Amino acid sequence: MNTSKPPVQPRNPLHGLTLERVVTQLADHYGWHELGTLVPIRCFTHEPSVGSSLKFLRRTPWARDKVESLYLFMLREQKRSAHGPS
């Protein structure tokens, strides 16, 4: 029986985050309309909700990859704006 812990990923900003938290933060930051423009998938453009989005993203790896990439982009942009102009 393998009782070892999963590897720690200190440099992975997605490590430890749930997909629900990622979708919620993106929707809060961009709004559903803009989110549907940036990642044009039906669960963001037609009667969007966190629940319907999670159901779709959990079974659609390419869409989940796009959402995770957008989340990482959002984090970079927030970090840049927090540091101000250089």
Centroid of chain to Cα 53: 11
19-80: CATH number: 1.10.720.30
Per-residue pLDDT, 8: 64
Ordered by start, the domain boundaries in the chain are 19-80
pTM: 0.81
Predicted confidence band of residue 83 (pLDDT cuts 50, 70, 90): confident
- Answer for the pair 66, 53: CB distance below 8 angstroms, yes or no: no
What's the pLDDT tens digit per position in 20-78?
999 999 999 999 999 999 999 999 999 999 999 999 999 999 999 999 999 999 999 99
Q: What is the DSSP string of 26-60?
A: HHHHH-HHHHHHHS--HHHHSS--HHHHHHHHHT-
Q: Furthest-apart CA pair in the chain: how many Å?
A: 53
Per 3-state DSSP, the chain is made up of helix, strand and coil in percentages (nearest 5) of 65, 0, 35
Count how many residues are written for the chain: 86
- Rounded to an integer, what distance in angstroms lies between the CA atom of residue 68 and that of residue 63? 9
What's the pLDDT tens digit per position in 69-79?
999 999 999 99
